[in-house]
Chains A and B, each alone.
Chain A
Amino acid sequence: MTVHSTSPQFKQNAARALKDGQLQKALGNVKQGFIDKRRMAADKLPEFESLRDSARDIKNHTLEHLDLYLEAYEEKVQASGGHVHFARDAQEARDIILAICREAGAKTVTKGKSMISEEIEINRHLEANGIRPVETDLGEYIIQLRGELPSHIIAPAVHLNATQVEQDFRRVHTHLDAKRDLSEPVQLLTEARAVLRERFLAADVGITGANFLVAETGTSIIVTNEGNGDLTQILPKTHIVLASIEKIVPTLEDASQLLRVLARSATGQEISVYTTFSTGPRRSADADGPENYHVVLIDNGRSSMLGTSFEEMLRCIRCGACMNHCPVYHAVGGHAYGWVYPGPMGAVLTPSLIGVDQAGHLPNASTFCGRCESVCPVRIPLPKLMRHWREREFERHLTPATVRSGLRFWGFFAKRPALYRLATRAAMATLGFMGRQRGRFTWLPLAKGWTKYRDFPAPQGETFQARWQRERKGRAA
């Protein structure tokens, strides 16, 4: 399978991103907005931390019994008149979706936001076969016009500024008055609403993702704030749900637990505006709704993650909190990661799905500050999992020679404590002396890559070990 990824060029991508003025300006919105909103939402709910435990436990329980819950789910979907399809990989998923679209005689397909649909590159495949896919989430619509991947899993166009969106709308919406005013974001929204309303009403098939699938009832759940996912699924004759196999939860109660942490972690809302529970096609008395309901369950590497240390990653509910709190994401944005999933969750998931040989840079792009884990609603130990990838990369000799020799050099000293103490003491004393006036270095030999974008704080002249011993002695005395 060909995967279109620039993850192997992460370093070049990151260097370009750091010099991109528009991107850097747009990334300021991530740092400001998301963090405060999440904290306020969490503070307003005294049970938030215990809900996170509950969310983690539900996901763990489901993964341990995934085969049985999938069976139960499949049975319920069929009982409600829907169809379930299984796809081992992206190609199988694309074939299934295309066949359903062809059977429906589809010319236009509207789409709700779905990360798995990006993973299987369904838009490219539909276009190649003469079917027009139309993204309907405002952010997804904007990046589709630009031919880009989402740069964030819940805010796909977060890398853009309003002026860039205006340019795209003028370029594409040529049937509208060229002199119209688009200086305010609300005017952009209104224009997109009008353009997409026509598409919603004309679509033959609607494709959505699923935030959760409920085994108890055979229900698929989507959450949106715009209502685009609902118009995507209730207007066309055929509704296709795309979901990876780990989206299953046992019951409506379990889904409700997870929904309580999802929006709070993502946007800081109590709950998203629209949470929609869909079960099968329209019923005989119904006046609206799709006549056909298909679910495509996609594995694409997940089943092999079960039973490994990366199983914990399958708890992910795609809220985006980890990237919202990540200093690396704040600095380089989502596109630098080179594939569908950016930020800390992408740094762990991408090597699992496309290989550590392709995506080995991503788990290395971390300061291990731990903020991602501290905000993850299902408590995925993201730094630990990134460290596991680094170990695997090292074991498979994928780590570059300079890094390996650097580690070997450090290893030589680390195995000889007396020598290590002597060497670090000498180095820290020298650096402390040299940097004593400014308190930082703007340039250091062998560390240009660091000092090019930020200053290196000057050590105080004493090593940690020396200070530890001194203070311990002081306390004992």
Chain B
Amino acid sequence: MSARDDIFANIRRSLGVNGSETIRRQIVEDRLERAPKGVIPKRGQVSGEERLALFKTMVETSLATVTEVSSPAEVPQAIALFLRNHNLPATLRMGEDLRLKAMPWSDTSLEITYGPSEGRDLNAVSHAFGGIAESGTLALVSGPENPSTLNFLPDNHIIVVSAKDIASDYESVWNRVRFAYGKGSMPRTVNWITGPSRSGDIEQTLLLGAHGPRRLHVVVVCD
């Protein structure tokens, strides 16, 4: 008997089932289909200005920084300012995201390169799929538009998110993922990012910049 068959047989023996019970199959199919939400904290269930304010507060709680601009055209200047304020080189790597590419980068003196990171980039920018106000989390999806390596290898990660994509809770983001990729399908990677990289492994003292970015800066576009 293969390991697989053996394991299934043992599970079924222990549970006292044979695996073909219609009721059990119906229950499982139903749950996978309906995906009940469970308990959703009230905290995030606000809208408009209030939701944006909560998102920003939670982003800051996670030790990231956040700034707000009123149109995509202002994003390059905001990023240049962030880099200048931290004495960082005026370089920036990004993927093929059309929203980012359409921004007026020539307004700044930033040197832009494109593609995934191979470990030599200090600064990178990604466009988020969405944000989650409940916890100040950014949701990013992998792909040529926003390669996952940009989220982890550079020292300084900047994430641009549209205010209209900031949801109350994780569940709202899953609904959008299903709409974009089809029910039951996912991009290779969905990254939830909440603050810069950190470790508490030495004497339980919180230190920033473990393996991922030392700084996380969020630019919210309110247009």
Contact = CB atoms under 8 A, between A and B. Distances in A.
A154 B199 CA distance: 11
B13 to A, nearest CB: 8
A218 B194 CA distance: 24
B194 A234 contact: no
A216 interface: yes
B186 A217 contact: yes
A177 B115 CA distance: 35
A201 B119 contact: yes
A155 B200 contact: yes
A227 B142 contact: no
Nearest to B7: A299
A89 to B, nearest CB: 9
Contacts of A278: 188-189
A98 B58 CA distance: 43
A277 B190 CA distance: 5
Contact of B116 (A50, A58, A227, A288): A288
A193 B209 contact: yes
Nearest to A30: B204
Given A155-B201, A189-B210, A250-B28, A280 B188 contact: yes
- Interface residue tally of chain A, by bracket? 35 or more
A225 B200 contact: yes
A136 B211 contact: yes
Nearest to B185: A217
A282 B205 CA distance: 36
Contacts of B198: 225-226, 273
Interface string A258-293: 011000000100111111111111110111110000
Contact of A286 (B11, B32, B58, B142): B142
Given A256-B170, A273-B197, A286 B203 contact: no
B71 interface: no
B2 interface: yes
B86 interface: no
Contacts of B197: 225-227, 273-274
Interface in A7-41: 26, 29-30, 32-34
A124 B39 CA distance: 43
A305 B200 CA distance: 34
A316 interface: no
A33 B206 CA distance: 11
Contacts of A71: 8
B18 to A, nearest CB: 9
Contact of A267 (B115, B192, B200): B200
Contact of B19 (A68, A87, A254): A68
A231 B116 CA distance: 13
A216 B184 contact: yes
A66 B15 contact: yes
Given A64-B15, A225-B210, A45 B41 contact: yes
B42 A46 contact: yes
Interface string A184-221: 01101110010011001100000000000001111100
A197 to B, nearest CB: 7
Given A217-B184, A270-B58, A288-B147, A185 B189 contact: no
Contact of B190 (A50, A65, A267, A276): A276
Nearest to A275: B192
Nearest to A198: B119
Nearest to A303: B10
B68 interface: no
B212 A274 contact: yes
A228 B210 contact: yes
B51 to A, nearest CB: 16
Given A254-B38, A260-B41, A307-B16, A139 B194 contact: no
Contacts of A51: 38-39, 41
A185 B31 contact: no
B17 interface: yes
Interface stretch (A157-165, A333-341, A406-414): A157-165
Contact of A231 (B27, B58, B152): B152
A294 interface: no
Contacts of A86: 2-4, 7
A53 to B, nearest CB: 8
A61 B8 CA distance: 17
Contacts of B201: 137-139, 142, 155-158
A257 interface: yes
Nearest to A69: B28
B58 A274 contact: no
Contacts of B62: 270, 273
Closest 3 CB pairs of A and B: A227-B212, A139-B201, A226-B210
8 contacts: A33-B204, A45-B41, A67-B12, A185-B205, A185-B207, A193-B209, A227-B213, A289-B188
Interface of B: 2-4, 6-8, 10-12, 14-17, 19, 24-25, 27-28, 31-32, 35-43, 58, 61-62, 95-96, 115-119, 135-137, 142-144, 147-149, 151-153, 170-171, 174, 177, 184-205, 207, 209-213
Given A256-B171, A286-B188, A304-B10, 19 more contacts: A34-B204, A45-B43, A70-B11, A86-B3, A88-B7, A139-B201, A155-B200, A155-B204, A216-B184, A226-B198, A234-B189, A245-B11, A252-B174, A272-B194, A273-B197, A273-B212, A283-B143, A286-B142, A289-B148
